[in-house]
Amino acid sequence: MTLTPTAVANTAVANTAVANAALANAAPAGPARPADAVSLPVTIAGRAFPTNRGGLCKKGWTAAELLGSADRIREPMLRVADGSFAPISWTDALDLVAGKLRAGRAEHGADSVGVFGGGGLTNEKAYQLGKFTRLALGSSRIDYNGRFCMSSAAAAGNRAFGLDRGLPFRVEDLDAADTILMLGSNVAQTMPPFIGHLDGARQAGGLIVVDPRRTATARLTDDGAGMHVQPAPGTDLVLLLGLIHLVITERLADTDYLSRRTTGFDQLRFSVAGWYPQRVQEHTGVPVWQLQGLARRLAAGRGTYILTGRGVEQHVDGTDTATAAINLALVLGLVGTTHSGYGTLTGQGNGQGGREHGQKCDQLPGYRKITDPAARAHVAGVWGVTPEQIPGAGIPAVELLNALGRPGGIRTLLVHGANVVVSAPDADRVRQGLANLEFLVVCDFFFSETAALADVVLPVTQWAEEEGTMTSLEGRVLRRRRAIDPPAGVRSELWIFQELARRLDAPGVYSAEPGDVFDELCLASEGGIADYSGLDYALLDAGEPAYWPYPAGSGGTPRLFLERFAHDDGRARIVAVTPRTVLVPAQTEGALTLITGRLLEHYQSGSQTRRVAELSDAQPEARMQVHPATAASLGVVDGGWVELANERGIVRCRAQLSADIRPDTVFLPFHFPADQRANLLTAGATDPISGMPEFKRTAVRVRAIDAPGLSAPDHERVMADA
């Protein structure tokens, strides 16, 4: 990569203009460029690498534009008396934040201070954020946006295998597969370079995509390349139980593998006995012939992989659904072999590493349980404190956000790498909670919708401006190297943690040097599930692949479970699961089922990608995908305006007619702000095991409207009229 800055601007005028534009306009995608804005031409070039082979998606090729964006925050910003923002020095900003933290803890207790992290933080920052929260703040109230992404798959992997790594094998191992079952993942749009690893299965006619929509990934199965299975939203668990039933009754199970390497098969066999093909067809809409063909193909494959994504995991039964996918893989004897496997696909930049080292509410570094006395003792020794000084388990993300501004709840919140006003479920409730806080601090590059509500906004470094490590979906630890200097007024979160810890007289040491933090992280992880103790920057800089667990003296672990699983007896746990939710379709009494997801051009809450002209021009707004027959019954036309409503909120956007979606279902992307936020409609209900929200099955009513600016009926009348 070649980065060549040609001008640098860091003026109070530019910063204040951007801040107050965000405040007035709910963080528009691209406010007018100040005359002295940064111009930073950048060249991005791919390089040979096993996972992407030099390829990037549109978001990757255009990412460097954000480094010099006119919207960039380049100095700390303070909300002033009239509600607008004004620049403030770093010294004054940190003194103010530290003072508010002290006062809040003194008045309301340590757990009145909450911290919300992000799956895009480097391993070093995620680690230091967890340490800072627990020691410097003394709070247990930390969680992160990865709770909305990987938590169900992680919980399922931990209880089945004793270990959670997205892919327990290398991505390039998929090249040799002749059958790949993809459940609820649209990789053709979310990670386009990945689809090259599906070519072998496609050529063998063995790519199977399960999705209620005929996505770009589902279309890869055309022309004999495989099969698209299109179940009703929220019925994936039943589909998987039916497949297990077929594998067992048609004697396709690997009985030798089951007896040698697993426990729990007898309970599973009993639990799926009632899910015969005709019953599964009734609940899912998937025909019997397709169920039978799918089961037989999975069992006949010479190299078979089962991969899950958010589509089957972002449900209140997401852990059980991921568990059912694991059970199917175990019954077929796929896991822990050299040629087959099960895995889940990570959605965020550091989705794997971000959950390994302490920013989850129930974990300590190394993927240790915070309730484990031995784990607490080990980490306390590395941190130089007693185990009693480390708080116990906190509360998961949705529960934490529900506690914002409430008596006995969170009164002060620090947000790092997240935009919860757009990304969290029941988003208007979250916005109200943020407004009720006594003090809100946001660290970000831009004035996101969440930053626009903050009392203090602290500008932090972007990817090309910092050192550190990330961990890929296959458990490979990768170096991030600083390519350019950040703007003069921008700081790394590591420096911010160090300065705040000093002001708070915190126990422990808080280095601002990424290499020092990584060395400490490796010590803290030693002996844990995600053991990094054999790693350092020198080894990573040498370019050798480094897959965790990587204990000292080892060479890492590219493929897990070849000899044993991570439970004490070395066996995988088959956990029998049954549907807990009502299987009545959500579209009763005229309602439709809303599912949410991503677009090729945008990422997460869109706070960054909506500021890239090429991406924003291609997808400038949210559009509701709806089947033509459904649209006709509602009087909706292609490109016409529609209103989606339920008891939580109203979304207004244009309609996009497509036969690629089921007639009982509509789709919204979740990247857009204001009244196009899909998460105004999603519920705060969560999986009782993982804390995952129900993003993929929301009942809504849809009607055509003339234009978004008309005097729309209020929320209560919309629901009364529906």
Q: Is pTM, for the whole model, over 0.85?
A: yes
pLDDT value at residue 17: 52
| Cα 642–chain centre separation | 28
Residue 355 dihedral angles phi and psi, to the nearest 5°: -105, 5
Give the closest residue to 411 by CA, choosing from 422, 403, 419, 420: 403
Rounded Cα gap, residues 222 and 218, in angstroms? 8
Cα–Cα distance measured from residue 313 to residue 115, given in angstroms and rounded to the nearest whole number: 25
- Give how far the C-alpha of residue 629 lies from the chain's centroid of Cα atoms, to the nearest Å: 33
Q: Nearest CA to 405 among 423, 432, 375?
A: 432
The three-state (H, E, C) secondary structure of 583-636, written as one string: CCCCCHHHCEEEEEECCCCCCCCCCCHHHCHHHHHHCCCCEEEECHHHHHHHCC
Rounded to whole angstroms, the Cα distance separating 315 from 586 reads: 13
Sign of CA dihedral 401, 405, 407, 413: positive
Domains, the chain, with CATH or none: 73-148+351-541 (3.40.50.740), 151-344 (3.40.228.10), 588-721 (2.40.40.20)
Which one, of 471, 614, 539, lies nearest residue 165 by Cα? 471
Record the tokens describing residue 9, joined without a space: 């601007």
Residue ranges of alpha helices (H) inside 288-353 are 288-300, 310-313, 318-331
Q: What whole-number distance in Å separates Cα of residue 558 and Cα of residue 705? A: 54
Contact by Cβ (8 Å): 206, 255: no
Answer yes or no: are the C-beta atoms of 689 and 149 closer than 8 Å: no
- Give the C-alpha separation, 222 to 421, whole Å: 39
Q: DSSP letter at 404?
A: B
What distance, in Å, lies between the first and last C-alpha atoms of the chain?
A: 54
DSSP assignment of 168-225 equals SS-GGGGGG-SEEEEES--HHHH-GGGGGGGHHHHHTT-EEEE-SB--TTGGGGTTTT
Nearest to 516 by CA among 461, 468, 460, 482: 468
pLDDT of 711: 38
Number of C-beta neighbours around residue 110 at 10 A = 17
Task: Tell me the two tokens of residue 553.
Answer: 């003296």
Residues in the chain, pLDDT under 50: 1-14, 18, 22-39, 583-586, 710-722
Instruction: Kindly report, residue by residue over 542-579, the tens digit of the pLDDT.
Output: 988 999 999 999 999 999 999 999 999 999 999 999 99
Q: Other CB atoms closer than 10 Å to residue 545's CB: what's the count?
A: 14
Contact call for residues 109 and 85 (beta carbons, < 8 A): no
Distance between CA 320 and CA 318 in Å, rounded? Answer: 5
As separate numbers, helices (DSSP H) first and strands (DSSP E) second, the chain gives 24, 26
Q: Are 467 and 480 in contact (CB under 8 A)?
A: yes
Distance CA(282)–CA(699), nearest Å, equals 20
Q: Are 646 and 681 spatial neighbours (Cβ–Cβ below 8 Å)?
A: yes
Q: How far apart are CA 72 and CA 34, in angstroms?
A: 11
**Can you read off the two tokens belonging to residue 709?**
């600016």
Distance CA 293, CA 168 (A): 27
Cis? peptide before 549, omega within 30° of 0? yes
